[in-house]
Every structure is written in C-alpha cells, then in structure tokens.
A and B are shown apart, each in its own frame.
Chain A
Amino acid sequence: NAGVTQTPKFQVLKTGQSMTLQCAQDMNHEYMSWYRQDPGMGLRLIHYSVGAGITDQGEVPNGYNVSRSTTEDFPLRLLSAAPSQTSVYFCASSGVGANEETQYFGPGTRLLVL
C-alpha cells in the first residue's frame, strides 16, 4: 500500500493563478480531508468528505474548492491564489466507525504564492 499520496511536492504560483493539489489513497477509506499548516498554528481543516459525491466545509474553506468523484481521490482547487494561501497542505484519510477513525496523512504539498 502506498497509503496517502500527494502531488506536487512543491509549487510556486503567482497571485491570481489557479491550481489543483492532488490527493489519492489506496486504503479504501471513506473519509478524506485537507488541512493547512502554518508556522505557529496547529493544523487547520479546510474541507472534508465522507464519501464519493459528499463534501463539506471545515474551519478555513474560503478560497478553496473540493470534489470527490471517486473513493480514492480528493483534489483541492485554488481558484485564484493569494499570498495568504502560502502554506503546507496535508491530505488525510481514515475509515469511519468505531476504532477505524485514525487519520493517516500524506507527505504534504508546499505552496508558495508570490
């Protein structure tokens, strides 16, 4: 199992550009989520999904869109990048139900918006 994979590892954008951060998991997990990590702050939830076709907003959703067309993939879209979106982005996945909800994280995507 590859676990949770993310691409790209690193990206530089100019303000106003758009891009998609890719996330995939091969553990057949129903729950997937996106977090951002900024210096001096804990990881914060952006969006999450409990299955294909179902998504919802987390704590800091503004400026980001998500969709979930398959169980395996959960891409995060930045429609018009802003310097405030410079951060490290982590995708995580887990099962649902008792004792299956440990979230496993990907290696992260480091995004710099100029």
Chain B
Amino acid sequence: EDQVTQSPEALRLQEGESSSLNCSYTVSGLRGLFWYRQDPGKGPEFLFTLYSAGEEKEKERLKATLTKKESFLHITAPKPEDSATYLCAVQRNSGGSNYKLTFGKGTLLTVNP
C-alpha cells in the first residue's frame, strides 16, 4: 500500500525565515510526486511535479527536491502570503489506467509578518 507522511504537521515562521517541509513516501514504483498548495476553503493548487530522484524544480520562493524516499519543499525568505497548507501526493507506476494520487495529511504553514 502506498503511504505518504508529511512533517511537520504545522510550522510557524517569521517573515524571511527560511525552512523546509518534508514528504516521506513508500510506493511500489514512483510515477510522479506532486506538491500542491491549499488555501482555506479552496481546492488544491498545483505547484510541482517531480519524476525521478535528483530532480529539482523552483517557483518564486519555493524549491522542490526529490530522493528515492522523500521530497523536500524548501521555502526561502517566506512572506505572509505563503501561508497555506502544503500537500504532497504520489502516483504509482501501476502500468494500468488508474492515475490515483495518494496524499499526505499536509503541513500547515503560517508565516507571521
């Protein structure tokens, strides 16, 4: 069974204080690892897809990295508008037609001004 564990559950930062969110996963053959941002009362918003160990992707203050067991979402000099819940999900390479995502429970990030 695929499993995704995100840590910490909640993280409070001061504006400008860089940090990282962790996503540990167990999947039988990784097809892709996805990061989403979710604001209160909204649907998940796509951030990144990572396909293979060693891959990195960046977008503004966010950088996602991937190893064979975990992914990190690095946040550099965060601003209050980066406050949200960040979700990690994995997709198994099942060879079939099920593109199911297995999600972690998320990390609630709060950035104080």
A101–B91 Cα gap in the complex (Å)?
Answer: 9
Most B-side CB within 10 Å, residue of A41, A90, A103:
A103
Determine if A103 and B101 form an interchain contact, defined as CB atoms under 8 angstroms apart: yes
Determine if A42 and B98 form an interchain contact, defined as CB atoms under 8 angstroms apart: no
Determine if B105 and A45 form an interchain contact, defined as CB atoms under 8 angstroms apart: no
- In this assembly, does A43 line the interface, its C-beta being within 8 Å of a C-beta of chain B? yes
- In this complex, what residue of B is CB-closest to A90? B43
Contacts of B34 in A (CB 8 A): 102-103
Q: B71: shortest Cβ distance to chain A, in Å?
A: 15
Known contacts: A102-B49, A105-B44, A107-B42. The answer to whether A48 contacts B100 by CB under 8 A is yes
Contact-residue size bin, chain B (C-beta under 8 Å from the other chain): 20 to 34
Determine if B105 and A42 form an interchain contact, defined as CB atoms under 8 angstroms apart: yes
Q: Could you mark each residue 30-70 of chain B with 1 if its beta carbon is under 8 Å from any beta carbon of chain A, else 0?
A: 01101010000111111001000000000000000000000
- In this assembly, does A53 line the interface, its C-beta being within 8 Å of a C-beta of chain B? no
A1–B33 Cα gap in the complex (Å)?
Answer: 25
- In this assembly, does B7 line the interface, its C-beta being within 8 Å of a C-beta of chain A? no
A34–B42 Cα gap in the complex (Å)?
Answer: 15
- In this complex, what residue of B is CB-closest to A9? B41
Q: A54: shortest Cβ distance to chain B, in Å?
A: 8
Determine if B105 and A96 form an interchain contact, defined as CB atoms under 8 angstroms apart: no
A96–B100 Cα gap in the complex (Å)?
Answer: 12
Contacts of A26 in B (CB 8 A): none
- In this complex, what residue of B is CB-closest to A104? B46
Determine if B99 and A94 form an interchain contact, defined as CB atoms under 8 angstroms apart: yes
Contacts of B106 in A (CB 8 A): 42
Chain B residues 84 to 105 lying within 8 A of chain A, measured CB to CB, are: 87, 89, 91, 97-105
Given contacts A33-B100, A101-B99, list 5 more A-B pairs with CB under 8 A.
A42-B103, A54-B97, A94-B99, A104-B46, A105-B45
Partner-A contacts on B (CB < 8 A):
4, 31-32, 34, 36, 41-46, 49, 87, 89, 91, 97-106
Q: What are 5 pairs between A and B in contact, CB < 8 Å?
A: A42-B4, A48-B98, A96-B97, A105-B44, A106-B43
Nearest first, the 5 A-B pairs at minimum CB distance are A42-B103, A105-B43, A43-B103, A50-B97, A105-B44
